[in-house]
Amino acid sequence: MLGKRFIARVVSIGVIGVGALSAAPAHADPVVPIDWKVDATTTLKKLDQTVVIPTGSFVGGFDLGTSELSGDLSLPQASKRLDIGQLPLANITFAMKQAAPVTGTVDLATMQASTVASFNVQLVSIRPVIAPWLNLVGNTCQTAQPVTTSIGGTVDLINGSTFSGTYELGKFARCGLLVTPIINAIVPGPGNTMTAKFSPKA
């Protein structure tokens, strides 16, 4: 975990000085392992819906020589009831599946992190409230191209680090001949937001 080892490194860097850090060969600097839990929410702008995603995980490392952060983000499936006004319409389950490892950097002077995440959004099921046994999409309905988002924030080793950013949700494919155009008319678009709190696992 990040924990005490990371704090000790940051303190050491402050004592030794930035010049000494930059003069050291990059290959000699250790990679600090990261094992964080992730609590994320995403807001879909066109639907005006905010979805709370169950706790996931981020496992990777931080290179003290290059200030580069990288790792794998894993988030469980999330469900949300879609309403039109006061009328319940359907229960939607979706999954955000990593398309490429998360990469980024951390500025040790300010503890500001900037990362890029890439993922596919799969619509696992759309079940009408009046017919919950019916799934309107198959098991292949997902964004035609991976979604990329830049998220960042201040690294806080005590209270947890909250990163946020926006992303554009592209069109979906393979959701069914009749359903695909309906989904693409009401879901994809820019201005969607994601917020994720990263904290060390207990």
Task: Give residue-wise pLDDT tens across range 148-157.
Answer: 999 999 988 7
pTM of the model: 0.78
pLDDT at 24: 41
Percent of the chain residues topping a pLDDT of 90: 69
Q: How many domains is the chain built from?
A: 1
> Residue 19 and residue 188: Cα distance in Å, rounded?
47
Query: In this model, does residue 7 exceed pLDDT 80?
Result: no
* 31-44 vs 49-63, strand pairing mode: antiparallel
Beta-strand relationship, 112-128 and 147-154: antiparallel
How do residues 79-104 score in pLDDT, each as one tens digit?
999 886 656 789 999 999 999 999 99
> What CATH number does the domain containing 85 carry?
2.40.160
- The CA-CA-CA angle for residues 38, 44, 46, to 5°, reads 175
Structural domain containing residue 166: 3-200
CA distance 118 to 11: 33
pLDDT on residue 191 = 95
Q: Alpha-carbon torsion 111, 116, 122, 126, what sign?
A: positive
pLDDT for 8 equals 36
**Would you say residue 1 has pLDDT above 80?**
no
- Determine the pLDDT at residue 15: 30
